[in-house]
Amino acid sequence: MDRQTLAGASVRITREMELSQEQYGNFEAGFGWAFAAGSVVFGILADRLPLRWLYAAVVALWSAAGIATGFARDYDSLLWCRIFLGFFEAGHWPCGVKDTRALLEARDRSLGNGVLQSGTSIGAVITPLVLAAMMTNEPGSWRWAFQVVGAWGILWLVLWLWLVKRGDFSPVSADAQSSVSAEAEMPWYRVLFSRRMAVVLIVIGLINTTWQILRAWLPKFLQEGRGYAESDTLYFTSVWFAMSDVGCLGAGALAFWLCRRGMTVAKSRLLVFAGCALLSAATVALPFLPQGWLLLNVLLIAGAGALGVFPVYHAISQDLSGPHQGKVTGFAGIAAWGFSPLAQKLFGRLVDRTGSFDAGLAVAGVLPLLALLALLLLWKEPAAVPRERTRAPDKEL
């Protein structure tokens, strides 16, 4: 919610502050580069500090950055707010993915990661409704939305500290600890510089760029690119994130179901990833579609596919190493956020020069297909596979 508030109010903010499209892209770029830096910092800390307290700290700090955004008065102050928000938000993934790995066995992680990832969409579904209710015709009315949304993080903090106790994220069984593969017991530098880690970096760099561009530019595309009213855009954005949530949960559930039906973990993940990548590529039709129901349905399909690849990606990254999961996720954040910020800036520059969002969105939607190609050509299964709490041997992707 803290992240998506800017996109929902982007047209108002750029008009009131008289900003170019490239400057708006700089907000997303600053957020992304800060996220990359924070991913490394919190990835290392997640393997060293109690997650109960680390998770609480990062949410409290990024909520404070969200509240501060409501007080920004110019381009520079707003940019710094986005930088701090990105840095502290980066702590979510090392903590969340490490927790999920500890709680679930390999064949269940795609579904578990789908549930984890779906939280981002649930928040994004709510955010446009909050903006629609709070933004009036008065200049600056968007500021209250940042402050209210940021304050909600405090409620999460109270619930987290109340419900989560020390030791909740210990490995689920003694068998889980004893069945760690030889690769998982490698020193951290051998894990991070392995062939499979390189594939993880390629995959997350491509799929995250797709998702971040669609997420950040959708409201502007609808209002400035296709002439939809602000209220209609906000309501559709809410539906779009709901559909992306369906894609996310559906992808995880499908991989889970295929495994239960006897398909190997590797094949089920590849099949689901391929299907979602094809759905994401529906954006290639956008340049040919005017305002109307067909355009909106294509956007819904692409959103479901663009987020649906993430549960599979997280499950793949969790195969590398349990002891070093925080560092794996953290360093993967460099790839995830090292390229997408530049893409955001270039996207804005392209819109300034051409006056159209179409070509950039079309290209962005195809990137998950390139990630699929990397998986097919470069990924190799480990010699030894962890079999945490499983009765039958499953090959891992």
Higher pLDDT among residues 297 and 341, named by residue:
297
**Distance of alpha carbon 172 from alpha carbon 101, whole angstroms:** 10
pTM of the model: 0.75
Query: Residue 123: which residues within 8 A CB-CB, separation 6 or more?
Result: 1, 4
Higher pLDDT among residues 383 and 88, named by residue:
88
Q: Which amino acid is at 86?
A: G
Contact 200, 191 (CB under 8 A): no
pLDDT band for position 335 (cuts 50, 70, 90): confident
Token couple for 20: 């170019």
Q: What is the pLDDT of residue 389?
A: 46
- R_g (Cα) of the chain, nearest Å: 20
pLDDT for 127 beyond 90 = no
Domains present along the chain, CATH in parentheses? 4-378 (1.20.1250.20)
Task: State pLDDT tens for residues 216-254.
Answer: 899 999 999 999 998 899 899 999 999 999 999 999 899
Higher pLDDT among residues 176 and 261, named by residue:
261
Query: Residue 98: which residues within 8 A CB-CB, separation 6 or more?
Result: 46, 47, 51, 169, 325, 326, 329
For residue 135, the 8-state DSSP code is -
Contact 331, 36 (CB under 8 A): no
Token couple for 36: 């990359």
Contact 66, 146 (CB under 8 A): yes
Task: Determine which helix (DSSP H) or strand (DSSP E) holds 368, and give its type and residue range.
Answer: helix 358-378
Task: State pLDDT tens for residues 46-96.
Answer: 888 888 899 999 999 999 999 999 999 899 999 999 999 999 999 998 888
Query: Residue 65: which residues within 8 A CB-CB, separation 6 or more?
Result: 2, 81, 84, 85, 88, 150
